[in-house]
Structure 1
Amino acid sequence: MDYNNKLHSFSGIPFTSPSSYRRLLGKLLYLTNSISDLSYAVSHLSQFIFAPTDQHQTSTNHILIYLKHSPALGLLFPSNNIISIKGFSDSDWGACLDTRKFAKSWCFFMGSSLISWKSKKQNTVSRSSAEVEYRVMAMASCEAH
């Protein structure tokens, strides 16, 4: 999914029958358990499941093209993995154009293997990007504990 493509509820022409879009997104949600690269894009497109448009479908098609060209990607847990835990966190202040809420995300690695990740739109609206970064670091450190 193109990160710079800012989708919102009213971008594009609405579907008359959104059931095929919903079924496809459900299948992609299932794939996020083993292919963590899809997590952000699928969760972002899931916001529009009640009123999808043609632009949302185009973004979903980009995910399918990505999957077609990268069939060997997924989670790998090698046996010679070094036992060290690294964590990363990030946020996007005002990411949602409809609600202006921020997106929080973090991931943790044990050696080179991804063991935990989360990407979610926050429940509240924050006043600054510094407040957003502080909240995400606090939540990620609780996850690491």
Structure 2
Amino acid sequence: MKPIMCVACVPSTNDKPLDNITEYQKLVGRLINLTLTRLDISFSVQVLSQYMHSPLQSHFDLAFRVLRYLKGSPGKGLHFEKDNSFSLKAYCDADWGKCKLNRKSFTGYLVYFYNSLVSWKSKKQATISRSFTESEYRAMASTAFEIVWIKNLLQDLCVNIELPVKLFCDNSSALQIAANHVFH
């Protein structure tokens, strides 16, 4: 699904507020519940949920666009597989300065246990990054915090996982910073 953030963050000049915002709130609330099993709409629904108290007509149209996407792509939910290895692996990514209003970056990560997705997040970063590498490094740090939390939770449940945990990132500069022991 194409990101809807650019359209939602910067409304057009002829966009009007909704007369009845409860319909929008109900629709977005149902979409939020659906994100528990449909991760592919998480980011779009997160952006739409930022306008729950003052939605515009374009936001309502974008919510219907998400519904049309869902109707056209059944069976894209979570799938759990059985595996014999007690391993964790994670993937992370960031979009540098994508929010047009405040130039903050977005972080997204997925954490897998037994080849099944157990944790995920798509969130706007708290601070403004000065470079793409910095935003990717922040994404790696958030993912590492989540991995440590899950590892500790599994240890409390007497589940020993295989170490080291693999963290996949697509930015070579951020990987070089993370691998440089002088900075740590």
TM bucket normalised to smaller: 0.7 to 0.9
Alpha-carbon shift at residue 9 of structure 1 (Å): 5.0
Instruction: Show CA shifts across 1:87-106 (max 9, x none).
Output: 11111121211122111111
- Seen in structure 2, the aligned counterparts of structure 1 residues 15 and 109 have a Cα distance that, compared at 3 Å, is same
Kept after mapping to 1: 8 A contact 2:83/2:115: no
Cross-structure match for 2:66: 63
**Alpha carbons of 1:4 and 1:24: their partners in 2 closer, same or farther (altered >3 Å)?**
closer
8 Å Cα contact 1:15/1:54 also seen in 2:
yes
What CA distance in whole angstroms lies between the structure 1 residues aligned with 2:84 and 2:116?
Answer: 8
Equivalent residues of 1:9, 1:48 under 8 A apart: no
Per-residue deviation at 1:119? 0.7
Q: Which one of the candidate residues 137, 140, 145 is aligned to 1:137?
A: 140
| Percent sequence identity over aligned pairs | 39
Gaps of 5+ in 2: 149-184
Q: Aligned letter for 1:127? A: R
TM-score by length of 1: 0.86
C-alpha distance after superposition, 1:35-72 (max 9, x if no partner): 11121110011112222122212221121112212332
Q: Which amino acid aligns with 2:120?
A: W
Paired with 2:126 and 2:83, the residues of 1 have a C-alpha distance of 40
TM-score of the pair, normalised by structure 2:
0.70
1:118-129 equivalences in 2 (<5 Å) = 118-129=121-132
Is the contact between residue 11 and residue 58 of structure 2 (CA under 8 Å) also seen in structure 1? no
**Matched letter for residue 63 of structure 1:** V
Decide which of 106, 109, 116 is 1:106's aligned counterpart.
109
Gaps of 5+ in 1: none
1:71-129 CA-partner distances (Å, limit 9, x unpaired): 32321212356544321111112121112211111111235421110111122222222
Matches within 5 A, 1:36-75: 36-75=39-78
Number of equivalenced pairs: 145
Give the Cα–Cα distance (whole angstroms) in 2 for the partners of residues 89 and 16 of structure 1.
39
In the alignment, what sits opposite 2:11?
Answer: 10
What secondary structure sits across from 1:6 in the alignment? helix
